[in-house]
Chain A
């Protein structure tokens, strides 16, 4: 069965790259430009994986992870953070909010797929 992934990032180019890579790998892709939009996408949809940026306008990544995790249908959904190496404390914060893991920026499509494979094979 095709897996669905929700990508949340305010950067369109980043979102496009992640989306394209995952589509190539056979995922179905939903997108959100910030946490709030992403929560709207999640309403009524069951996704198999969520990938979210941290620094976003309107609703940041940490808040989004917390709220998404609080919804029953996402209780066990893997959530990956897009972070940079300078955000060590954010990783912990994200973990505490319910994130499964992280992908360190910069990354290339191969690295992305490797991490995705790890949590949603």
Chain B
């Protein structure tokens, strides 16, 4: 039977990624709880599962490497090797190599270019050294079912004695099966049952095995093949196999070679290597999603309800009379309710706990703190907070950067902390929580906080602000998100090259989120990232321009009103502004930006929607507002091409397609930094 293992191989790779994460988390905990035997067992199990699966699914290099790790863990589990920091260090590094091997295997599985070669040699050598002796097992791993020798042999006569113990049946064994198996290997020349052991009736135990057999078998099978028949019975049966007179001096059992092809991953050099590797990773991670059975069950429930509601509608429509309008309305309402429910449940399927990325930070903090000579404790909170899978994947890099930043710039060296009257050990707290329709992720440290004066000085030097600008502390702090802005006294390995914070901000904004900073000098800083729960559904306000419908994300709208003529001014430069409570906001004409004719061009007969992005407000001129609705975002990039000022499209209830406007993009358009929108 030929079985395609591809789906199981992929499931194995997903599962192994979880095991690797569990290994890392376990090892980190082991450092503080070296005596925890349950913890050690679970660490061992994770490595063991990876090894067992890797071999069966054809990832020999993974299996071989994990075997060494598992051996060491086994020794530790049995108390033969003592848990100590350097050992945990080694195992963590080994885990990194394992991760690398699995990623290479994954790349190969999905036909993507391999990232980099994984150096197993050095780690294996170190593991062996810890084990004390070279490991003989790895080389001699032979599968249970030994293959037959290739050379043709003549038939020989075998004498076989088989005497099962009394307990034979109690292990689920059956002598008849073994005898049949023997018969299948050749011709049974004679068989004789030995009834000597059968006791008298009063002593007879029906579940005991009292029988034994003597068999003469004419067969071309080797001794090894015959022994294989009794493979499971060596403990609970006496088995003797002897070649009979006619037997040729047979070649001893040919050992099965370990058919492990050295499948070292190919090294990709040159242009194909992306510096960050982000793309490759995100591509791999989005390959599949694991959903709890509970969520699927809920989905099925809702579908059931929906089917009932639909049949109610069908019933009313098929036998319709005017007096059944009420019933129809009720049935349609039920459909609507269930559809909304279904939508929520389906979205829930895409939701994954943010803990899946939190779990990588203890390691990062541990290594980084050691590298910087600082004492830092990482506290995690709200790992169970759920976010859309797409958001979770993309938030990982910005979070990593912010945490590195906190360690490098925030938390002070232990001595300095002591001088300030703080405990030597700094605390970085990573916290996720849901509030309203958004998820907040906070990175807070109890370090020195942002140095407002130094940021101001730097901003002056770079010409980002003028000496007479009277900016709030908040505004000054926001400057650290400017490209190429770094106040680190010296550039360190960790951060401080001025690349990063601007990327953090850009990444978060591309997810529809925002970053805020709260910092108190001497007490610490807190970065608060606000993220939408999901990327696929948006609360929007539909509006019309020249008879066409557009959607504005509700979060970006501050207010809307019809302006008086006195509130509108045209500047010398030709630009227009709207005065809103004493504040002059740039007036953007949607019809002009979008190239639409027949629109209302007189603002006093149309509406201004005040929209906000990035702390900036502008007044967008539209014909009228139509109403609020939840819309499903359809990607335009994938189906058409990227269009500045538009984040996607959606299909309205009446079947019309509406474009969803992207406020930051519209502002860029109005500033002429990008070419005007041209819709085909």
Give B8's nearest chain A residue, CB to CB.
A17
Closest to A113 in B: B1
* Chain B, range 30-85, C-beta contacts under 8 Å to A: 42, 44-45, 48-49, 51-57, 63, 67, 70-71, 74
Chain B residues near A30 (CB-CB < 8 A): none
A108 on interface, CB distance cutoff 8 Å = yes
In the complex the two chains form, is B172's CB within 8 Å of A24's CB? no
A115 touches B45 (CB 8 A): no
Contact B144 A13 (CB under 8 A): no
The answer, yes or no, to whether A46 is at the interface (CB within 8 Å) is no
Of chain A, the residue at the smallest CB distance from B135 is A86
- The winner among A53, A105, A119 for most chain B CB atoms within 10 A is A105
Enumerate A51-72 residues with CB–CB distance to B below 8 Å.
53, 55-57, 69
State A97–B159 Cα separation when bound (angstroms).
31
A11-B571 Cα distance, complex, nearest whole Å: 69
Among candidates B53, B63, B67, B171, residue contacting A14 with C-beta atoms closer than 8 Å: B53
Which residues of chain A are within 8 angstroms of B122 by Cβ–Cβ distance? none
Give the distance to chain B from A92, nearest Cβ to Cβ, in Å.
7
Query: B55 to nearest A CB, angstroms?
Result: 2
How far is A106 from B231 in the complex, measured between Cα atoms in Å? 17
B173 at the interface (CB under 8 A from A): yes
Which residue of B8, B55, B67, B143 contacts A13 across the interface (Cβ within 8 Å)? B8
A106 adjacent to B8 (CB under 8 Å): no
Cβ–Cβ contact B15 & A11, under 8 A? yes
Alpha-carbon gap, A107 to B52, bound state (A): 9
A residues near B246, Cβ cutoff 8 Å = none
What is the CA–CA distance of A95 and B14 in the complex, to the nearest angstrom? 33
**Which range holds the interface residue count of chain A?**
35 or more
Checking A85, A99, A106 against B56 with a beta-carbon cut-off of 8 angstroms, the contacting residue is A106
Picked from A77, A100, A104, the residue with its CB within 8 Å of the CB of B144 is: A104
Give every chain B residue within 8 A of A28 (Cβ-Cβ).
none
The answer, among B45, B70, B181, for a CB contact under 8 Å with A57, is: B45
Please measure, in the bound complex, the distance between the C-alpha atom of A116 and the C-alpha atom of B141, giving whole angstroms: 21
Asked if A27 lies at the interface with its beta carbon under 8 angstroms from chain B, I say no
User: In whole Å, how far is A49's beta carbon from the nearest beta carbon of chain B?
Assistant: 9
Q: Are A17 and B56 in contact (CB under 8 A)?
A: yes
Q: Give the residue of A13, A55, A100 whose beta carbon is less than 8 angstroms from that of B171.
A: A100
Contact of B145 among A57, A76, A106, A114 (CB under 8 A): A114
Name the B residues within 8 Å of A20 (CB-CB).
Answer: 3, 8
| Interface set of A (CB-CB < 8 Å, partner B) | 10-14, 16-17, 20-21, 24-25, 53, 55-57, 69, 75-79, 82, 84-86, 92, 95, 98-111, 113-115, 118-119, 121
- 6 tightest A-B CB contacts, nearest first: A106-B55, A101-B232, A13-B12, A100-B172, A13-B11, A78-B172
**28 pairs of residues in contact across A and B, judged by CB atoms under 8 Å:** A10-B45, A10-B49, A11-B12, A11-B49, A11-B53, A12-B15, A13-B12, A13-B14, A53-B52, A55-B49, A76-B170, A78-B173, A78-B174, A86-B71, A86-B137, A95-B232, A98-B170, A99-B171, A99-B172, A100-B171, A100-B172, A104-B143, A105-B55, A105-B56, A106-B63, A107-B143, A108-B5, A119-B232
